[in-house]
Each structure stands twice: as C-alpha cells, then as structure tokens.
Amino acid sequence: MGIQQKRSKYREEFRREILAEARELFITEGYEKFTMRKLAGKIDYSPPTIYLYFKNKDDLLLAICEEVAEQYFANLKLIIARYTDPLQTLRQALLYFIEFGFNNPHQYKVFFSMKPDLYGKKEEFMEKESMAKNSYLIFREIVQDCIDAGRLRAMDTDVMTQSLAVAVQGLVLMTIYRQSFPWADRNLLASALVDCLLRGYLK
C-alpha cells in the first residue's frame, strides 16, 4: 500500500471514529448541548482537527443521518431485487423500516427527531441531492409500482407514500419513547400494523 493510500485509509478511519463518537454524544447530550469541544475531548483531539473534516455540528449530524439513509437505500434496493410481487415488496419494505428502528433505536432517534430542519426547508428537500431524498424516492417508486400494477387503488402517490411511512415510524417512536407501556410482541405489532395499512389501500 502506497503512502497516499495509507493516508487516505487513515483519514477515512478517523472520519468514522469522529462520526461514531459524535453519534453517541448527540444521543447522550442532545442537539442543543452538543459542542465540538465536547466531541474533541471524547476523541482526545483538538477542535481544529475535527474542523478539517466537519465544519460544524450540523455538518456532523447531517453526515450521521446520511449514513442511516444510505442503509435504507441499499436495503430497499435489495428488497426490490428479491421480491417480484409489488405488494409483497412494499410489505417487506415497511417491515424493514420497523425492524431497523427496533434494532437501532439510537440511530433512529438521531435521524428522525434530533433536528427536524436539518435538510433545510421543505421546499428545498427535493431540490438538494441527498441519500435521504434518494431513500424517499425509491420507497415512493415501490408504492407507485403497486398502484401501476393495480394492486393498490389509484391515488396521489406522495400521499400514500407519506401516510405509510408516518404510520410505521409512529410505531417505532412510540415503542422507543414509551418503554414503560406493556407493548405486545413487537414483531406481531409490526405485522399487524403493516397488514392493516395495506388492506386499507387495496384496490
């Protein structure tokens, strides 16, 4: 491995270390109390060193959220490749959203509730390139395929896409933030919710 490759590898490893520690700090401190100085103390580097990689805490948070969105995007593509029936593809995509939240509650909280306007104003979201936008578009494509195939009733695709997404996200967030409630088996909850949602849109 040449010197340039070693340096590139080191920079990428250090960048991932910064993101990992920043994620933990966002979780424990929250957005308002998070500071670059606190992060520097955790990784034992000076703040100027971190600024070589990220310009501020919003830049850090965006990078963390984009990693989550990239996971969504990659797994939705795998689901599309695996299932040929459009309705089954949509069902598995919804179950995946819930499963990810159940298994990664901290990442879920950082992504969905840390800073609502992280991607800018609502009219800017679709104009800027991001993995979050790409994830939304590929999920929307799954929904559109169901409508085009006649498996779900014809209606505004964005309305259906966002309604389904909000419903499954609600289940995850409620179970994360209301852990004292005697929830039923979470896998049964997920299946029941998804099947109920899809039945409501059947043609």
Residue 113, domain CATH? 1.10.357.10
Together in a domain, 68 and 166:
yes
Q: Does residue 141 register a pLDDT over 90?
A: yes
What would the mean pLDDT of 180-192 be, rounded to a whole number?
96
How many domains are there within the chain? 2
For residue 187, how many other CB atoms are within 10 A of its CB?
12
Question: What pLDDT score was predicted for residue 114?
Answer: 81
Tell me phi and psi for residue 152, to 5 degrees.
-125, 155
Together in a domain, 116 and 27:
no
Alpha helices in 34-104 (DSSP H): 36-43, 47-51, 57-82, 86-103
CATH number at residue 36: 1.10.10.60
Domain boundary among 55, 72, 96: 55
Look up residue 149 and give its two tokens: 């195939």
Question: What pLDDT score was predicted for residue 12?
Answer: 85
Together in a domain, 130 and 90:
yes
Residue 120's alpha-carbon distances to 7, 117, 169, in angstroms, are 33, 5, 21
What would the mean pLDDT of 170-194 be, rounded to a whole number?
95
Cβ pair 94, 12 in contact under 8 A: no
Together in a domain, 146 and 99:
yes
Q: Does residue 73 register a pLDDT over 90?
A: yes
Together in a domain, 157 and 69:
yes
- Report which of 121, 100, 96 is spatially closest to residue 110, judged by C-alpha positions: 100
- Kindly indicate the confidence band of residue 123, based on its pLDDT and cuts at 50, 70 and 90: confident
- Report which of 135, 117, 122, 8 is spatially closest to residue 61, judged by C-alpha positions: 117
Higher pLDDT, 156 or 112: 156
What would the mean pLDDT of 168-180 be, rounded to a whole number?
93
What would the mean pLDDT of 85-103 be, rounded to a whole number?
97
Together in a domain, 30 and 75:
no
What would the mean pLDDT of 159-164 be, rounded to a whole number?
97
- Report which of 136, 148, 161, 2 is spatially closest to residue 68, judged by C-alpha positions: 136
Together in a domain, 49 and 67:
no
User: Which DSSP state fits 152?
Assistant: B
Question: What pLDDT score was predicted for residue 4?
Answer: 67
- Domain region containing 148: 62-201
pTM above 0.85, yes or no: yes
Calpha distance 53→56 (Å, rounded): 9
Higher pLDDT, 203 or 68: 68
Together in a domain, 86 and 115:
yes
* Dihedral over alpha carbons 48, 50, 51, 57 (to 10 degrees): -120
What would the mean pLDDT of 34-49 be, rounded to a whole number?
91
Q: Which residues, 6+ apart, have CB-to-CB distance to 135 below 8 Å?
A: 69, 72, 73, 76
What would the mean pLDDT of 145-163 be, rounded to a whole number?
97
Together in a domain, 51 and 78:
no
Q: Which residue has the tokens 């850090």?
A: 60
Together in a domain, 98 and 34:
no
